[in-house]
Amino acid sequence: MNSFLDYTEIQITSGNGGDGLASFRREKYIPFGGPDGGNGGNGGSIVFVGNKNINSLRDFRNKRVFKAVNGGNGGSNKKNGRNGDDLEIYVPLGTEIYDMRDNVKIADITIEGKGIKILEGGKGGLGNTFFKSSTNRAPTKAKDGKMGEKLKVALNLKTISDLSLVGFPNVGKSSIITKITNSKAEVGNYAFTTLNPNIGVLKGDVEDYLIADIPGLIEGSSSGKGLGHKFLKHIERSKFLIEVLDLSCKDLDELKSQHSILMKELESYNKDLPLRIKLIVLNKLDLCPFVNDIEEFNPIKDCKKISISCHKNNGIESLKEVIEDFKL
């Protein structure tokens, strides 16, 4: 089973507030002994917390119902009930939370360790001690705690990265990310080697770069064909895109066709995506039958271009240097 999961639906419930208590202490000459009922504790809230060490929603595959602890009931001798602990639910950075009643986004988890409260716990009820006054010295009134809230939410993960590699299947994206980062992406000479986004870190001299490799796109990806369409959302948060093309095609026209189809798919999904392409990487230089024509290929004005061969390990260091020159 593929361990990657980027969408799921769960039910969350905050804790109920504890009930207040109506009780009286036994004391001579004081009606009913005097009120001493304590308040109920507040129920626990539901809090979502971003965790950079989690990269998938797979932990929710077998657990879909989450409930916070109820508040404790009030006791005699003016003892208040214990507050229920908040339930913290850890999710990957980049997780969007939607209220499924109206499909409205209610949170976007993008900061490490920062908790966002989604459901408030129920308030604890008041004991009869609270209602004591100069005109009512022996109140028998107490209030029950408020019920917690229940909500069905959708969790939608959009990978957070500085750069994303985009291209057709088997153009060498996984090989590139393996060469330039610490990623252990699967590499193979067949279509759709990558079945889920891979994230790697390129260690630069000044700063580090998070680079994502998403499953290859095919013509029609934006409308649901192949595997790439469901992962296009993972490049929406990237500051810049790196287009990867295959030089082992038969001629320059076919290379231009690769680029045109890819641009069409990106634009169909989100018209801003093609504008984020910062670099074009031409891979498989060792298999290119039209090496002398490569210089003619400049499809995007003022966009950098580099030719490499992952198989021969040619141009990899130059590629790292080009990426490190990006101003994020």
pLDDT of 222 over the 60 cut? no
In percent, the amount of the chain with pLDDT more than 70 equals 88
Q: Take residue 282 and report the two structure tokens written for it.
A: 């031409």
134 by Cβ neighbours in 10 Å (0-12 / 13-18 / 19+) ranks as exposed
3-state secondary structure of 101: coil
Structural domains present in the chain:
7-157 (2.70.210.12), 163-324 (3.40.50.300)
CA dihedral for 202, 204, 108, 168, sign (positive or negative): negative
188 pLDDT higher than 50: no
Residue 196: pLDDT band by 50, 70, 90 thresholds? low
Residue 307 has pLDDT above 80, yes or no: yes
Beta strands in the chain, from DSSP E residues, in sequence order? 7-13, 46-51, 65-67, 87-92, 95-99, 104-109, 115-119, 150-157, 163-166, 198-203, 208-213, 240-246, 277-283, 304-307
Least reliable range by pLDDT among 81-85, 106-110, 204-208, 263-267? 204-208
pTM: 0.80
pLDDT at 267 > cutoff 60 = yes
C-alpha pair distances (Å), 44 with each of 50, 82, 109, 142, 148:
19, 10, 20, 21, 8
Q: What own/partner pairs with CB < 8 Å and gap ≥ 24 does 190-196 have? A: 191/216, 192/216, 192/226, 192/227, 193/169, 195/2, 195/4, 195/227, 196/2, 196/4, 196/6, 196/56, 196/231
Cβ contact 314:285 at 8 Å: yes
Mean pLDDT, range 6-10, rounded to an integer: 94
- Sort strands 150-157 and 7-13 into parallel, antiparallel or unpaired: antiparallel
Alpha helices in 220-294 (DSSP H): 252-269
Kindly report the average pLDDT of the chain as a whole number.
Answer: 88
Under a CB-based contact definition with an 8 Å cutoff, are residues 63 and 106 in contact?
A: no
Query: Are 215 and 168 a contacting pair, CB within 8 Å?
Result: no
Q: Cα-atom radius of gyration of the chain, to the nearest Å?
A: 29
- Could you read off the pLDDT of 81-121 as tens digits, one per residue? 999 999 999 999 999 999 999 999 999 999 999 999 999 99
In angstroms, the CA 263 to CA 260 distance is 5
Which of 122-131, 217-226, 291-300 is the least confident region?
Answer: 217-226
Written as six digits, the tokens of 204 are 């630069």
Query: Checking DSSP bridges between strand 277-283 and strand 304-307, what pairing results, if any?
Result: parallel
Beta pairing partners, 88: 47
Q: How far apart are CA 43 and CA 63, in angstroms?
A: 22
**What single-letter amino acid sits at 157?**
L
User: Using CA atoms, how far apart are residues 139 and 34, in angstroms rounded to an integer?
Assistant: 9
**CA pair distance 13, 17, nearest whole angstrom:** 12
